[in-house]
């Protein structure tokens, strides 16, 4: 059954799990429990023009990755279940929440500049809260830097949000949830999903991998998996509600460890999710190369509903740099995983993350990254300049690479990857792919969606397509970041 929602291509472009060469610079020690409360806060609610602010309303803005997007859906669910109403502007909300990202310095800076914009609203009695990675990383320091903030809560403490909100409602001025030492996952009764046909599902939270450049183990806490039974129950509910595509999420999604006696492996879970009636596409991200094995490739090969796309971040093509990054695999070991994927009977698209300018990265190391691109033939890559982050081991490493040199390497890397993508996409001209209709252009008869391999497809159709439906599209042209085609038929649900 098709649903009709008028979502433009612009929105789609902003939300996709890019297979493009993406420069992601603008996006984008465990703390003790802090559920404390202090100072009374004023309860009056007025906007800057003196008008009333909707009591019990919230505005939620999300920075960063899909996991943050999905956490925000769950936070919204928690607030809606408590009787709050979501509003579209910060000015008209009684609670303003920022779900933040601190993976690179620019992402964290962006949060503080956004907080600065709301400095004047403190007198109006609005509650301003910082959630997510910046909250966990900066903790109570946020109160000194932005005294108009009342709530600071990291993702590992979201289960405490209702409690924290009650304390604020009771008139407390400042509350924090900064615990990371938990084995609980953030499961909610209600999740307010933004997309009516594709649902995100976090199956594993936190990360135990300790890559030397990364803040995630500090900001999201240790790895904790949901039970397979609870995941499958939610999948059945989602299928009943009409969702056909699911994205299983985790910082290292394939490190999933079923905590129940069933002990389902990640590849078994993929198959079980794909077999739930009504589910037509199952995606998963992000996979860590260490835990990526043939059983996952076999599952993709044999179950059509498991999408033919794997995001397998390599970070560097130099074993020397990989060791310094503590990535737990060497170049050759990573390439063995790529060989497994390339040997599959179904063509599986492969995307990655790359960091240039890690401390001590020589020209030779960088050339090894370039030569790895030739071997791996990625369908897409998120390319980043190394950004030094608080508390991480690489912060203290010698031989920092100058900013201009990082920029040069990034440009060379992206140019090379762009040409690889152009060639790979041009090979697809003349072939047909199933596409989920996800966007409608302002131009007549123009639509957009993704293939199972997660390529963006812009296509022409004379039919009045319904968003969420599946159509077959024949590729007529290709660019490095997308395919262009014409609808040639449709698949019934």
Instruction: Fill in the per-residue mask, 103 to 142: x = in contact with ligand SAM (CB under 6 A), - = not in contact.
Output: xx--------------------------------------
214 touches ligand SF4 (CB under 6 A)? yes
6 Cβ contact partners less than 8 Å away, ≥ 6 residues apart: 440, 467
Instruction: Fill in the per-residue mask, 164 to 203: x = in contact with ligand SAM (CB under 6 A), - = not in contact.
Output: ----------------------------------------
**Least spacing, CB of residue 145 vs ligand SF4, in Å:** 25
Distance CA 466, CA 486 (A): 16
285 touches ligand SAM (CB under 6 A)? no
Per DSSP bridges, beta strands 281-285 and 245-249 are parallel
Per-residue b or e along 252-282, where b marks 16 or more CB atoms closer than 10 Å to that residue's CB: bbbbbebeeeeebbbbbbbbbbbebeebbbb
CB 335 within 8 A of CB 375: yes
Instruction: Fill in the per-residue mask, 215 to 234: x = in contact with ligand SF4 (CB under 6 A), - = not in contact.
Output: -xx-----------------
Q: Name the residue among 258, 256, 220, 228 with its Cα closest to residue 102.
A: 220
Name which of residues 270 to 289 contact ligand SF4 (CB under 6 A).
288
Distance CA 90, CA 59 (A): 5
The size of the chain, in residues, is 493
Q: Token digits for 111?
A: 């949060």
Burial of 403 (0-12, 13-18, 19+ CB in 10 A): exposed
249 touches ligand SF4 (CB under 6 A)? no
Per-residue b or e along 23-53, where b marks 16 or more CB atoms closer than 10 Å to that residue's CB: ebbebbebbeebeebeeebeeebebeeeeeb
**Least spacing, CB of residue 103 vs ligand SF4, in Å:** 8
**Least spacing, CB of residue 238 vs ligand SAM, in Å:** 24
Name which of residues 369 to 428 contact ligand SF4 (CB under 6 A).
none
Distance CA 243, CA 113 (A): 37
Q: Which stretch in 214-222, 291-299, 432-440, 464-472 sits in contact with ligand SF4 by CB under 6 A?
A: 214-222
What number of chain residues touch ligand SF4 (CB under 6 A)?
A: 10
User: Which one, 217 or 380, has the nearer CB to ligand SF4?
Assistant: 217
384 touches ligand SAM (CB under 6 A)? yes
What number of chain residues touch ligand SAM (CB under 6 A)?
A: 18
CB 451 within 8 A of CB 457: yes
Task: Name which of ligand SF4, ligand SAM, none residue 386 binds, using a CB cut-off of 5 to 8 Å depending on partner kind.
Answer: ligand SAM
**Least spacing, CB of residue 321 vs ligand SAM, in Å:** 12
**Least spacing, CB of residue 59 vs ligand SF4, in Å:** 28
213 touches ligand SAM (CB under 6 A)? yes
CA atoms within 13 A of residue 35's CA, in its CB half-sphere: 14
Interaction site with ligand SF4 (CB under 6 A): 207, 209-211, 214, 216-217, 251-252, 288
Interaction site with ligand SAM (CB under 6 A): 65, 103-104, 213-214, 216, 251-252, 286, 288, 313, 315, 353, 355, 384, 386-387, 389
């Amino acid at each position: 059954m098709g649903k009709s929602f008028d979502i433009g291509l612009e929105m789609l472009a902003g939300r996709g799990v890019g297979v493009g060469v993406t420069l992601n610079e603008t996006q984008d020690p465990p703390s003790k429990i802090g559920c404390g409360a202090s100072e009374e806060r004023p309860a009056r609610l007025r906007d800057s023009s003196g008008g009333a602010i909707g009591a019990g309303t919230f505005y939620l803005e999300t920075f960063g990755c899909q996991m943050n997007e999905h956490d925000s859906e769950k936070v919204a669910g928690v607030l809606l279940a408590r009787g709050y109403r979501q509003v579209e502007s910060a000015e008209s909300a009684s609670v303003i929440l920022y779900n933040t990202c601190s993976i690179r310095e620019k992402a964290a800076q962006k949060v503080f500049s956004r907080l600065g914009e709301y400095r004047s609203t403190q007198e109006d009695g609005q509650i301003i809260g910082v959630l997510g990675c910046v909250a966990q990383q900066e903790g109570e320091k946020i109160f000194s830097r932005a005294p108009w903030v009342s709530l600071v809560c990291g993702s590992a403490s979201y289960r405490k949000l209702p409690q924290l909100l009650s304390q604020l409602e009771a008139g407390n001025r400042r509350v924090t949830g900064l615990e990371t030492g938990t084995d609980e996952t953030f499961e909610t009764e209600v999740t307010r999903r933004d997309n009516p046909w594709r649902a995100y599902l976090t199956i594993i939270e936190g990360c135990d991998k300790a890559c030397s450049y990364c803040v995630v183990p500090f900001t999201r806490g240790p790895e904790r998996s949901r039970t397979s039974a609870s995941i499958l129950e939610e999948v059945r509910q989602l299928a009943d509600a009409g969702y056909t595509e699911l994205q299983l999420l985790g910082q290292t999604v394939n490190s999933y460890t079923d905590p129940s006696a069933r002990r389902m492996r990640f590849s078994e879970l993929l198959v079980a999710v794909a077999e739930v009636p009504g589910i037509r596409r199952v995606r998963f991200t992000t996979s860590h190369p260490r835990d990526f094995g043939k059983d996952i490739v076999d599952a993709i090969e044999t179950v059509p509903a498991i999408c033919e796309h794997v995001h397998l971040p390599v970070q560097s093509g130099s074993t020397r740099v990989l060791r310094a990054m503590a990535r737990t695999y060497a170049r050759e070991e990573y390439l063995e995983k790529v060989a497994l994927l390339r040997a599959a009977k179904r063509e599986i698209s492969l995307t990655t993350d790359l960091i240039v300018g890690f401390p001590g990265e020589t020209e030779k190391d960088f050339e090894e990254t370039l030569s790895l691109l030739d071997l791996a033939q990625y369908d897409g890559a998120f390319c980043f300049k190394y950004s030094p982050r608080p508390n991480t081991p690489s912060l203290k490493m010698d031989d920092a690479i100058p900013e201009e040199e990082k920029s040069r390497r990034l440009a060379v890397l992206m140019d090379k990857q762009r040409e690889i993508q152009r060639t790979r996409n041009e090979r697809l001209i003349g072939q047909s792919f199933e596409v989920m209709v996800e966007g409608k252009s302002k131009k007549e008869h123009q639509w957009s969606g993704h293939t199972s391999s997660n390529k963006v497809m812009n296509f022409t159709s004379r039919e009045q397509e319904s968003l969420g439906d599946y159509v077959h599209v024949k590729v007529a042209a290709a660019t490095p970041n997308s395919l262009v085609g014409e609808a040639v038929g449709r698949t019934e649900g």
